[in-house]
Structure 1
Amino acid sequence: MDDSLQCRNFSRSTLSQLREFLLAHPHLLQRIPQARHSEFIKLCGYVAHLRSRKAVEFFMIVFRSIEALADRPDIGAILRGAIFMGSRGWALVEPYLSAVSSLPMGARFLTPFTLCAESIARRDADCAIAFLRNAPIVVQSTGEDGLLKWGERARDALRAGRHVWKAARAYLEEAAANRCGTSPERWVFNLEQAGTIAMRSSEAAEEFIRLGARLCLLLNEEDTKRWVQTGLAECRTTEELCSYFSCVSLKALETRDGLVSGVALKDRVNSLTLLCEAYLGQPVKIRSNRSLIGVKAFTGGPATDGRTVFLPESVQGYTLLKLMALHQTALLQAHDLAEVLKDGAINETSIHMEADRRLLQRLPNLLGDMKRLAESLPELFPDCDSGILRENQLWWGNLLPEFVADTSKAVAQVKQELCDEAQLPPEIVEALLESLLAEGARDADTLLARLGKMLEFVDFESPDVEDLGEEVQTFLYKEWDQDLADYKLDWCLVRQRPVPDDPNPFAQELRDRLQSLVRLIRRQFSMLKPERFKKYRAQPFGDDLDLDALVRAVIDMRCGSFLSDDVYIRRDKRLRDVAVLFLVDLSGSTEEQVHGRRVVDIQKEAITLMAEALDSLGDPFAVYGFSSEGRFRVDLLTVKSFREQYGDKVRHRIGNLEPANLTRLGAVIRHATSRLDEMTAAVKLMVILTDGRPYDIEYGSLDYAMADTRKAFKEARLNKVHPFIITSDEKGASYLKKICPQTQSVVLPKAEVLPHVLPAIYRRLTA
């Protein structure tokens, strides 16, 4: 029977769409071997029930697949396998044909592969499709036997029931994405745990395989079981379960951290950084790999994006942690890691061995550490054939080619746009990017958006130190790095310089507008001024004899009474012993208006009223404005020092204060503490007017900035300085709770009330 007759016969029953397709494309059958026509028609018969457009797409896919496979000697077996898979579901045909075109030829492998795929399809078609689509990737890293075992693990997991299908599919995709870098035994264990979770929620079981299992790589199996059981016990809803097993919830992270044992990265990051920098000859950033959870192919081990070294937060021993850090640093030696990894068929083992080869050339003693950690390291390692190694070494980690490529592309795009449009110096762009990338941001649009927010109020016109003049003093201060759990010494340059005292109408206009309020405040504060000395007569001890009391005592004694001891005058020194330093936030956000007035003008008004009050009281006080533009440009603007008298020059300086750049609070607080430390007063106050949000170029994440600020406040208290923060920013209130839970603060309902309440606040603080 010829093909047209065969088609006509099929069309009379179920293949009318195929008949129309072949009549519309009469040349197609001529392009595939005659012997394959019947298989083509059988395969097309699986979609007879579909709508015309979908069926035609399927016909073309089958035709192109057969045409591409025409020269393979095992094409007959392939098409029989496709027909076999089609009997389980037409959607399996296309991924099956696509997969076998990339797999080894011959029935010896094709038959068990097809049977494995069919056994998975018998339980779940979606899992079978995931198996077929990822098979070409897996066979490259594991070989034929490894591929079949990879599929069999999914099949075995599905035997537990239909509820496990999402976890099994996730396993097939995740194991392929990380090139089966996780050990087979660990995957079996993870699937068992997923089966337990799936009894409550199949979605949560999927999240565990995709993300939660990575978080647990630092745990042994018993501790992982405890982590899973904690989640199941404490989470009630599906949403809570998914949040826990995807590691979004803080509870998941805290539970894991409580179970981790071994050497903590935070305790060794300083020594590791020095070691890696000595090896590489340039600065090396080391960060926790927690931010990589969710990155494709990441399995929880060491990794790099081509710029930063990411390490586990805890491992079993320092030797392993050291090798992890040095190996990733050796990978950074590649001229362009993104270029090296862009080839889809890269030999990861060869790349890792080449990195170890470079490492051992400089540090040959590390070979002993490697052999102690590896169970079966070849004698000639790393100069042996990469094919000898059966599995990745513990210290290698993940290469993450897509992650490296995306980072490289995003960095190039951001640099180009910022340098062209914003005309920023390249070194500033690089510093900003390093900070954001270390936090985990990778998308170019996200980076640009966050950088735009950071630079919103920055004009980059702040002069260099050498251009500031002789009146400028510079100071270096440390900064707390919570990731390192240590200080960065001499990290910030504070530039103390005077505010211009050019005459301006601000002070006079304020006095004219608030004349009665100024007089009232000065009168109230002058009443707080105590007598310098107070005499106490008839005391049992003192500085001088009280003659009147002495005469009375002698008379009493002659009259037969005892001689009283209360015959002295005691003088008490009752001076107010208070020094206060005011810090005024001059970041760009103070340019914003509240009811038609700028925030900075409201702050200036409050400081002026406070200065008038303190001048009448006699308490020594100083006023500084502050803003920053990176760690080398932290500006403290002197309005009034402790030693300077209050007068018109100070009033003019207050009037000349204007919004500037950003807010690096940690360095500002440390400098203010040093200024107060020079005072001998018994009570030292630091009053800060700010929006409460530390934010600066290369100041890390918000958590980093808050940790440094919190540390600076703690240092101030240790120096017997009492900080007090005043803010009118509602968001600032939440920042303050995190930054300074032990520091007094007040959140004003409205910024415009600041001038009226500041004197009252000061009276309360010094009462």
Structure 2
Amino acid sequence: MNWLDVMHGLHHPLTAKQLQEILNEYVGLILMAHRQLDDAVKVLANLPRPQQDWVVEWVRVVSRQNMELAYEFIHQVAYALTLMDENGVEEWITAVIETYDKEGLNKALDQLNALGQFAQQYRLNNMGLPLVQIQSVLQHFIIGLDGRALKMEHGDVAFTDTETLFLPASIHRFDDKTLNFLLYKATAAHLWAQTWFGTWQLSLITASEQFPHREKAIRLFHTLERLRLDACIARELSGLHRDMQRLLQLLNEPVIPTGWETIAARLAEPNATVEDSYFILNEIHTWAVPEPVAYQGVLLPEQVERVINLRKVHEKKALQNALAELLHKHPEQPQNTDDGAQLNAQPMIEQQPTLTERTLQNLLTMQGEGAPNIPELQDIIASIKQDYGEIPPDYWLIPAGAGQGEPDFLNPEKKHRDLADTAQQIFSYPEWNYQRQRYHKDWCSLREVDVALKQDNFIQETRCKYKGLLANLRRTFEALRGGNQWQRRQSYGEDIDLEALITAYTDAQAGHEMSQRVFTHLRRVERDIAVMLMIDMSGSTKGWINLAERESLVLLCDVLELLGDRYAIYGFSGATRKRCEIFPIKRFDEPYNTTVQQRISGISAQEYTRMGVAIRHLTHCLSEVDAHIRLLITLSDGRPDDEGENYRGVYGLEDTRQALLEAKKIGIHPFCITIDSQAKTYLPYMYGVVNYAVIDKVEQLPMKVADVYRRLTT
């Protein structure tokens, strides 16, 4: 038989008899209980061969979880494929397996039998466009516009607090994903326009309180501003404006509300400002509120003013500190006043000195040696002008001593001291305050705490439980191991690459040029890698999450030992900045022995999740390892969190992000694997859009780590 016959055989559908024989391997015990597959395999025999192979592979996967589930899956999969595409069927059966893992067989069978309901929801979900799919593209679009750098997160409604654009998690107004993306883009542009064209330069809270129906006044004001901002976008982004008008036409929404034509013309004047909108609001506050257009969103003035007030305090201090530093390095030269008197810069520094904007601009445009190096200053000035329209006079006043005592901690210095009542070392690390844009020096106290050894059969039980998966992982990781490795899809080599040959033959049959890269070649590969596994041991991991973490570590350690790469495992937790804790489970210089295994078995849930200080400590440990590639892989069940001091929320995210940036600066690659279903709303901002993975099954963790290895080390 030549290879052409092999090709035809691979593409020829399996008969019902052949399918019966193959599926017997996975559900044979069920069939012994007087159950049949006759009708099911007859239907499956009508499927094309690639789809039959796909079904058989999923039967194999499901049977490893439970044979009863696999038997029922065989009977329903053909019908499922008439309701959904293969991605939808995979989501359906994966959800069933997850239910089986968490709630048992009966619940899983109930979910399996609710196929129609799942398919309906799947179709509904896939009509829309999830924000996470296009967030990176949309973020780059916003970055390309004028004004301060705006973050992007998902929210229940579309609005901006002037620092973040909150957009719906999914948009499905259209059946066409291109149009749904365009609606996302139009909404983001409208929210950006609020920040750039001055919607929030005056207090909407104060202005709306004078009206008897405050909420109605806010919505009328929003309509006025929408018309003004549409005109601004038409002048600055004419192409996008045409797309926005097209969206309204497709949705049958009026560009200008009926009876508002004259008002729209007034607000379309190039010199129209937010003051004009407030002036017109006084004239029309009794009018009915028009329906908002699709990209309009809502106004939330309380949230906006809270953010603006915090930013104004921070930016005023930041500007004054920067000016003080600038005056210290480049004292302003004496200038002639109107009456001929001269101003001396040195006495002014002692008595609330000022620096004129003209002199500042001259300094900022200096070239060559002696030019000031304060890249953030231009951004601060631009942001202040966005909020005020100009730099307020008191912002140029520089408090005596400003700018002093604000050292840079981008390269944190690790310090420790021995306490009289304990033999443990205490490490001090800075923490990033995003509101002040400064580090708190020696803010967090961290100690390394031993994990209690636990002598049980956990390691052996886990290996037995995941025997099949462990064998697959070993084969996967062996392929990554240093030494002689087969490189696929080569133009020459020692053997035929069957998969590449099949693809090339299929292309040729379709009339395309047949690829010559159908060989495998043996190549010598050397590895020089160090990986740090950072394990969340916060209180929220108690229960099945803690079990999943420990089982994952057992599997990972077994396969990492095959690679020969250096690796370490540390847990982290703590409570408040004064009691941050790191739990060494395996150090780089430790062998994977019984002691390490007993530590893994003894991992238990502790307190909170203050991540920034833990990342800084482990970054320092990893930086001391001489390796070409250094990975910091975090396994966590949620976002940074701690009691008190407002660490939860934006502060904790910003501190963690800053710690990750510090790690990247010294050549460490961070990656996060999480089981938080909301992670896609914040992890792209912290880690980057390709440096995280969301899972909810222990089996997925080692495979995700393998994916990281492939991408970063090959």
TM-score normalised per structure 2: 0.41
Which structure has more helix as a fraction of its residues? 1
Q: Which structure has the larger Rg? A: 1
Higher relative contact order (CA 8 A, sep 6+): 2
TM-score normalised per structure 1: 0.38
